[in-house]
């Protein structure tokens, strides 16, 4: 297992164990991966390519998913990583002190991440709050949303992680989505 893989594993374990501070390390990790990815892009014999950090994010996520093997189980990974991503985004989106942000490469990377997740017009803090309410109404639905939106899981995967049938998962997910939409768009 290479060092980055090991680091991811450690981070995700810490996150799983409830260490919110590990969220910050995830930032670094995602940032490092962006950088690594960009560098690979450069290393490859394709100097003609344009670098677009934001466009690389989903690739980064794919890389995170590649760590699968260290988890023996993609589901396990998704379960943790989706929560990690949510924590990461909300922690940053809520962070104030914009004055120090502009020079801090870490914040810039995060800024982009947040922007990407907000590209549909749903603000992360609002979504987070609504999700917390939804958790009270229907914890399963909220978890499905989290897995799907923040983790990129399919309905099948999300249902299986939560431990319900795909059919039930599909309906609970639809409920959660409609409920949130009502909440956020009205």
Partner 1 sequence: MDLDRQRRIRDLFLESLEQPSDARIEWLQGRCGEDTELFDDVAALLGDEDGSFLESPIVAKDPKDLIGTDVGGHELLDVLGAGGMGIVYCARQSDPERDVALKLLRHFAGTEGEKRFLREIATTTRLDHPGIVRVIRSGVDGELRWYTMDLVDGWPLDELLKRSRVDGGLPEDAPDLRNHRACADLVRQLADALEYAHRQGVIHRDVKPANVLVDREGRARLADFGLARNFEVTGMSGTEQIAGTLAFMSPEQARALRDAADPRSDIYSAGAVLYALLSGRPPHEGSTGAELLARVLYDRPTPLRRAAPNVDRGLAAICDAALRYDPRARYESAGAMREDLQRWLRGERVLGRPLGPGERIRSLRLDRRTLVRAVPVAAAGGALGLYGAVQIARAARSDRVDVTIDLGDADRGAILVLQEADGFGGVGPPERMGTYEKPGQRLRVRPGRGRLSAVVGDRWVSFDRVFRGGEDLEGRCTGVSAGESWARVAAGTTAVVRGPESGRSADGAPNDSEVTLEAFWITRARVTHGEYESTLRRAGRWNEEGVERRLLDEASAPKRTDWKSLPATLVTFLQARRFAEMKGCRLPTTGEWQLAVIRDSSGWPPSLPDTGRVVGRFEQGVPFEDQSSIDGYVRHVRPAGDPAYATGALRIFHPLGNVNEWTSSPAPFTAAMNGAASNSLTVTQRGPAWFESLDLTIPVSRVALGFSLASKPHWSTGFRCAKAESPPPTRE
Restricted to residues 93-112, the positions that interact with partner 1 (CB under 8 A) are 100, 102-106, 108, 111-112
The helix (H) or strand (E) run that includes residue 88 is helix 74-94
Give residues 31-50 in contact with partner 1 (rule: CB under 8 A): 31-33, 35-36, 38-50
When asked if residue 117 is in the footprint of partner 1 (CB under 8 A), the reply is: yes
The least distance separating partner 1 from the CB of residue 102, rounded to whole angstroms, comes to 7
DSSP state of 48: T
When asked if residue 53 is in the footprint of partner 1 (CB under 8 A), the reply is: yes
Q: What is the CA radius of gyration of the chain?
A: 17
When asked if residue 149 is in the footprint of partner 1 (CB under 8 A), the reply is: yes
Give the separation between CA 54 and CA 51, rounded to whole angstroms: 9
Number of residues lying near partner 1 (CB under 8 A): 73
The least distance separating partner 1 from the CB of residue 82, rounded to whole angstroms, comes to 9
CB 37, CB 56: distance < 8 Å? yes
When asked if residue 177 is in the footprint of partner 1 (CB under 8 A), the reply is: yes
The least distance separating partner 1 from the CB of residue 6, rounded to whole angstroms, comes to 7
When asked if residue 141 is in the footprint of partner 1 (CB under 8 A), the reply is: yes
* Residues counted in the chain: 186
Cβ neighbors of 61 (< 8 A, separation 6 or more) are 152
When asked if residue 90 is in the footprint of partner 1 (CB under 8 A), the reply is: no
DSSP state of 100: G
- Geometric angle at alpha carbon 52, from 5 and 107, rounded to 5°: 65
Nearer to partner 1, 76 or 118 (CB): 118
When asked if residue 164 is in the footprint of partner 1 (CB under 8 A), the reply is: no
When asked if residue 23 is in the footprint of partner 1 (CB under 8 A), the reply is: no
When asked if residue 118 is in the footprint of partner 1 (CB under 8 A), the reply is: yes
The least distance separating partner 1 from the CB of residue 160, rounded to whole angstroms, comes to 17
The least distance separating partner 1 from the CB of residue 10, rounded to whole angstroms, comes to 8
Q: Which of 60, 55, 59 is nearest to 29 (CA)?
A: 60
The helix (H) or strand (E) run that includes residue 167 is helix 166-185
CB 173, CB 183: distance < 8 Å? no
């Amino acid at each position: 297992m290479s060092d980055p893989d090991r680091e991811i594993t450690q981070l995700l374990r810490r996150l799983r164990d409830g260490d919110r501070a590990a969220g910050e390390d995830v930032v670094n990790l995602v940032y490092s991966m962006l950088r690594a990815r960009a560098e690979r892009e450069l290393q490859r014999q394709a100097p003609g390519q344009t670098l677009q950090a934001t466009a690389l994010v989903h690739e980064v996520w794919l890389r995170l998913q590649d760590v699968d093997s260290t988890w023996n189980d993609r589901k396990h990974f998704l379960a943790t990583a989706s929560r990690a991503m949510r924590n990461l985004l909300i922690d940053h989106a809520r962070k104030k002190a914009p004055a120090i942000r502009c020079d801090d490469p870490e914040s810039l990377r995060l800024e982009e991440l947040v922007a990407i997740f907000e590209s549909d017009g749903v603000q992360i803090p609002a979504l987070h709050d609504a999700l917390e309410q939804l958790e009270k109404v229907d914890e399963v639905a909220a978890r499905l949303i989290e897995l799907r939106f923040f983790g990129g899981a399919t309905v099948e995967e999300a249902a299986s992680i939560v431990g319900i049938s795909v059919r039930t998962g599909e309906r609970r997910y639809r409920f959660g989505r409609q409920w949130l939409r009502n909440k956020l768009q009205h």
